[in-house]
Structures are given as C-alpha cells and as structure tokens.
Structure 1
Amino acid sequence: MTILFDRRSSLLSLLLVGCLLGGCQPTSPEFFQGYAEGEPVRVAAQQSGVLTSLTVQRGDHVQTGAALFSQEHAQEAAAVTQSEALLAQARAQSANLDTGKRTPEIAVIDAQLADARARLRLSTDQLTRQQTLRAKGFISAEALDQARTQLARDQAHLAEIEAQRSSAQLPGRKDERMAAVAQANAAQAQLAQSQVRLAQKSQTSPVTGQVEDSFYRVGEWVGTGQPVLSILPPQNIKVRFFVPETRLAAIHAGENVRIHCDGCGAPITAKVRFIAQQAEYTPPVLYSENNRHRLVYLVEAWPASKDATRLHPGQPVDVTLK
C-alpha cells in the first residue's frame, strides 16, 4: 500500500508540475489564413486603331508618365494640320476687319480723290466764265445751266470719294468683327480637339508599378476602350484573409494586423480597411452555438507601399492580430 501511494503521489506531482509549466508557457499566436491579391490598373486605348509600338513588356517596372504604346495616327495628324490652317485663316480675316483697307488700296482712293478735286476746280472756273459771258449776252441760258449742272456733279463726286476715303480707314462693322472673332474661336476649339485626338493615339503610364500583362501585339487592331496593358502599383496590393465568426468581434476597421509569409522576413504591418458583412462560407448547418465556428468572414488589409513589394498576388499568407 505504501508503494502504491508513493507512485500515485509521484504521478500527481508530475501532472501538477506539467500543468504549472504549461501554464507558464506563452500562448501561441492565433493565425488566420489568407492570400495576397493585386488590383492592377488596366491602360486602355482611347481610340481604335492598329497598334504600331509597344515600348514595355511583362515584368518591366514603369514610372508615371512613361511611354507605353502608340497607335497609327496619320489621319489624326492630318486633321491637326488642317485645323491649324483653318485657324490661321480665321485669325487673318479677323485682323483684316480690325485694320481697315491696306495702304495700296487707300493710295488708289487718294488718287481718285485728287482727280475729283481737280475736276471740281475746273467746273468751278468754267461756271464763273459762263456767268460772265452770259451777262454780256455771248452765250445762252442753256449753256449756263449746263455749267452749273457740271459743277454740282463734280461736287457730288468729290463728296463720294471723300466718304470712301474715310470708310477705308475704319475697321469692319461691329457685327462683322464679332462674327470673325467667333469663327477664330471655333477654329481654335477645333484645333484643340484635333490635338487631343492625336495625343490619345499614344498612351503613357498613369501609375508607377510593374507591368503585369500585355493583351495585344504590334500590328493588331485595338478597339476603343480595350485594355492593352495592366500595371500593378504597390499601393494596389492587399491581403485577403478569413476570420471565424467566433473571432470576428476582435477585428475592427482601421486597426493593424501582422502578415507572415514564406521568405518575407519580418512580419508586414497592414491596416484593415474592409470587413465583410456576410459570411464568406456558409455550410448547410443550423446556426447553433456548436456550428458557428464554421462560418468565416472575409477581411481585407492593406500594407504600406514600401512593404507591399514584398508580397506577390496569389501568395498564401498567415495573419495575426497585433
């Protein structure tokens, strides 16, 4: 009996020591399974046309504003040239209405004005002579009337030429000038539109990142709005993981989590941005307390851009709460 009691005492002692030691050990962290995912930026053709150049390929790292691809643009370039010519024409017409007639044209009017003045002097002298002769009875009253008519005619002609000289120095009428300005503005807008359409034939990178894929080859026809390349910027890399229903209350949007992956080195800190409102996986079981652990909810966390480059889309990860 003594030996049996000693054995039981020793066993209880070992169990007690084991329990104490087990209680002193730190609890292992709780891991949630997930994977990295990227949201690439798809760069599309803004107009349809044949792809003439593709300056990047899959795997290349591009900076914002770097040239990506271009399409055939002969028609758009011709439209720009035509619009530039129409704008120059409209501006010239508007300037012509603002300045009046040209100097050579005014010189012609001045010559006509000098001739009209000379004719007026001549007809004035003739009328004076005719009046003298009529007073002496050498000419008829009809001859005197002809001299007076000629003088009136020359006076009217001089007034007409003087009016032409004055109007030649004036700009066009207000309505004409307004119409010319409107026409020049319309030509300017048409040129801007043509330049935009030409610029749309060459695409640059809207983001900095890695080229994930190209969907067309040089020489192929690309439709309007069709993606030609996809680029993944670091800020578009996120982690999706799944949390059981029983642990959902422990995670909140805006909090940080730690991401662990093979070959990533130190854990990566990421901020929770999205928590699904509905269960990601709902097996056909009753929602009893014994089965709630089978429900999992999708959670998305976004690491900083400098750390996101350590992750690769599709890579499995483990997530722990901080």
Structure 2
Amino acid sequence: MSPSLAKRFPRFSTLALAALGYLALAACTPNNDNDWQGYVEGEYVYVASSQAGRLDRLSVQRGQQAAAGAPLFMLESGDEIAAQRQAQRQLNAAEAQLADIKSGKRPQEQEVTRAQLAQAQAAASKAALQLSRDQLQFQAGGIAKQQLDDSRAAAETAAAQVRQWQSQLAVDRLPNREAQVRAQQAQVAAAQAVLEQADWKLAQKAVTATRSGLVFDTMYREGEWVAAGNPVLRMLPPENVKIRFFVPETVLGRLKVNQAVTLSCDGCQPNVAAHISYISTESEYNPPIIYSNQSRAKLVYMIEARPAPADAPKLHPGQPLEVRLP
C-alpha cells in the first residue's frame, strides 16, 4: 500500500487499510454480483480487576479456550482478607451491643435488685408482725397510742419499699428506649455494608470468565504488579467474531439485516453459514478518491456479518475470505 493512501485515511486501522487494498486488487479481477471479498475481525473483551495487586496466579494461557465461570487469574489479597476480618468483627460487636440494648440490664444487675427486694420484703414482714402485736397490746391497755402509731408507720414504710424494689426489678427487665435501639440498628446496618464492601473487594482479586471464549493474549506474567483497571488478558467470545466486506452501490438494495450468507476461505470448511448483522449507512470510495459522476461505480458500503457461535472458532481475525449469497 502506498504511503499517500495511509496518510489520506488516518483513522483507518492497519487491518482496514489492508482490506481496502485487498478489495482494490480484487476489483481488477472478474467477479459476479453475489461474490465479494472480506476479512475476519474480532471484538475483544479486555478482562481486568478493579483492584490493584501482584499477579499471583495466571490460570489460562494464550490460545486456550476458557469456559464461562472458569478461573482466569488471581491477585494477591492479604490486605483485603484482613479488611474482611476487621469488618466481620465490627459487625459482630454491633450486633452484640444491639442484643444487649434490647434485653435490658444484665442478669447480674437484676440479681442485685432481687436481693434488695427480698431484704425489703423481710423488713416489711417483720414490721407487719410488730404492728399486729402492738394492736393487741393497745387493746389490752399495755401500750400507749403513740407506740401503736409508730408501729403502723414503720409497717407502711416497709411495704412502700417492697413496692419500690418490685418496680425497679420490672424496669431492669425492660429494653432501653426506642431511640437507642434504632440508633444501634443503624450501626449494625452500617457495619453490614462495610462487610459487604470488603467481601466485594476480596472477590475482585479472583477473576473468572463471565463468558466462554478464546484467550487471545495475556498482558502480564505471574509476579508482576497490576494496576487497578489494567487488563490482564484479552478474550474473544465466539459471538464477538464478525466478517466485514464491501459491496457496490448497485448491490446494496438486495441486502438486508439477518439475511443469510456463506463464507469460504483457504483451509476452511466450505460454505460456513453467517447472517448479516449490520449495513453501513455511509458510503465509501475505493482509492483513488476522485468524486465525479463516473466514480459512482466505485462507491461501496461496508457490511458486517456474524457466523454461528459454533463456527466462530474456525475463523481467525485478519483472515481473508469470500462472502457469497446462497
């Protein structure tokens, strides 16, 4: 290809320019209206991790077919494991504090209140017995009324203390105020979110294939440092293999999306089936680019077709082939 052509098409990839040159050469040979030259192209998936780290394990090799869910690579994860343990313990502490708030005072604290209640009940029984004796003595004229009044007041005081400690024990069994419970529940939810974030970051260190496909290339070796977001490998799923070819303007009206075509190439099985997936709406000119009424014969449109996923592994990006209408 001449240098002037490459300068005239700065946005074209090397593969596309090579294809155009191939089409220009093919135009010099006899061809029918149902047979066109094309080439295979791949839409690669760049697999990376959102976290940085040393590449500890590369589970696949270039040229290997990887199934969906298969492990691809693993980064060192010591910091993420420690962060996960810390988040788990913080969640456990928040949940324990919430349970303590809901349960009221501890059993040991309630036991102290029960002991004080028992002491008050014993004092109340003694005061009630003394009041009963003093009433009999007063009726017999053995004591003054003042002593009877003192006994009655002591009995009432002891009974009031019993009621006080009974109420205190009931309060000890109650949970804390609702506002405190809601605040602690929020703390538990926050700790749960931190744990989920730690789990997600740890999971990002072990990357698996989301779709099956060919491991087209690997960018790092084990032991190298990988920055966050840098792709470790390139994959080519079978559904991302496509064929590009160009047809003249006179043929464009006979083609439509989902129309069947057949593919053939050197070393391929004959008549590989494919279907048209895209028809460009923008026209192009085969070089040299000279606009005139006579140059309409050189006006072409780009067409893309996709083979069945089962046939895609038979084709290789950059491979020239022929496209025919069945």
- TM-score normalised by the shorter chain: which range applies? 0.7 to 0.9
Which one of 88, 96, 103 corresponds to residue 100 of structure 2? 96
Offset at 1:107? 3.3
- The answer to whether the Cα contact below 8 Å between 2:33 and 2:251 also exists between their aligned partners in 1 is no
Aligned to 2:265: 261
Residue type of the partner of 1:36?
V
3-state SS in 2 of match to 1:291: helix
Q: Distance in 2 between matches of 1:287 and 1:87?
A: 75
Query: 1:191-222: CA deviations, max 9, x gaps?
Result: 11211111111100111111001112222222
Q: TM-score, normalised by structure 1?
A: 0.81
TM-score by length of 2: 0.80
Corresponding pairs, count: 294
Distance 2:168 2:193 in 1: 37
Deviation at 1:263, TM superposition (A): 0.9
Aligned to 1:217, the other structure's residue is in SS state coil
One of 264, 283, 304 as aligned partner of 1:279? 283
Corresponding residue SS for 1:239: strand
Partner of 2:14: none
Q: Which residue of 2 aligns with 1:154?
A: 158
Match of 2:175 among 171, 177, 187: 171
Aligned-pair RMSD on alpha carbons?
Answer: 2.7
SS of equivalent residue, structure 1 residue 211: strand
Give yes or no for contact 2:48–2:232 (8 Å, CA) kept in 1. Answer: yes
Question: Any idea what SS the aligned residue of 2:268 has?
Answer: coil
Q: Which residue of 2 aligns with 1:45?
A: 49
- Tell me the CA shift for residue 316 of structure 1: 0.5
Any conservation in 2 of the 1:134–1:140 contact (CA below 8 Å)?
no
In structure 2, the CA distance between the partners of 1:286 and 1:138, relative to structure 1 (3 Å rule), is: closer
Q: Summarize deviations over 1:21-59 as a string: whole Å, max 9, x none.
A: xxxxxx967421110011121111111222221111211
Q: Distance in 2 between matches of 1:193 and 1:146?
A: 71
What SS class does the counterpart of residue 285 from structure 1 fall into?
A: coil
Deviation at 1:176, TM superposition (A): 2.8
User: For residues 183 and 130 of structure 1, what CA distance do their matches in structure 2 show?
Assistant: 61
Q: Secondary structure at the residue paired with 1:95?
A: helix
1:252 is paired with a residue whose SS is coil
**Kept after mapping to 2: 8 A contact 1:64/1:206:** yes
Q: Give the match for residue 122 of structure 1.
A: 126
In the alignment, which of 187, 193, 198 is matched to residue 197 of structure 2? 193
Which whole-Å CA distance do the structure 2 matches of 1:195 and 1:265 have between them? 48
Query: 1:129-174, CA deviations, whole angstroms, 9 ceiling, x for partnerless residues?
Result: 6775799697795x77765664454333222211122123333333
Does residue 112 (structure 1) correspond to residue 109 (structure 2)? The answer is: no
Whole-angstrom CA distance in 1 between matches of 2:173 and 2:291: 97
Which residue in the other structure is 1:240 paired with? Answer: 244
CA–CA distance in 1 between the matches of 2:71 and 2:311? Answer: 27
Q: 2-side partners of 1:194 and 1:28: how far apart? A: 62
What is the identity, as a one-letter code, of the residue corresponding to 1:168? D
Which segment is superposed worse, 149-158 or 305-314? 149-158
In structure 1, the partner of 2:22 is none
**2:25 maps to what in 1?**
none
Higher-Rg member (1/2): 1
TM-superposed CA distance for 1:309, in Å, is 1.7
Whether contact under 8 Å (1:134, 1:144) holds in the other structure is no
Give secondary structure in 2 for the equivalent of 1:286: coil
Partner of 1:320: 324
SS at match of 2:321: strand
What one-letter code is carried by the residue in structure 1 that aligns with 2:70? A
Q: Is the 8 A contact 2:37 2:322 kept in 1?
A: yes
Structure 2, gaps ≥5 residues long: 1-30
Q: Measure how far apart 1:223 and its partner are.
A: 2.1
How far apart in 1 are the matches of 2:39 and 2:196?
47
Amino acid at match of 1:189: A
Partner Cα separation in structure 2 for residue 207 and residue 65 of structure 1: 7
Secondary structure of 2:256's aligned partner? coil
Q: Secondary structure at the match of 1:265?
A: coil
Task: Give unmatched runs, 5+ long, in structure 1.
Answer: 1-26
Structure 1 residue 35 and structure 2 residue 22: aligned? no
Structure 2 letter corresponding to 1:63 = A
Q: Check conservation: 2:44, 2:235, Cα contact below 8 A.
A: yes
Matched, 1:78 2:94: no
| Range with greater deviation from structure 2 (131-140 or 254-263) | 131-140
Q: Deviations over 1:76-101 (max 9, x none)?
A: 11111112112222222222333344
Moved more, 145-154 or 244-253: 145-154
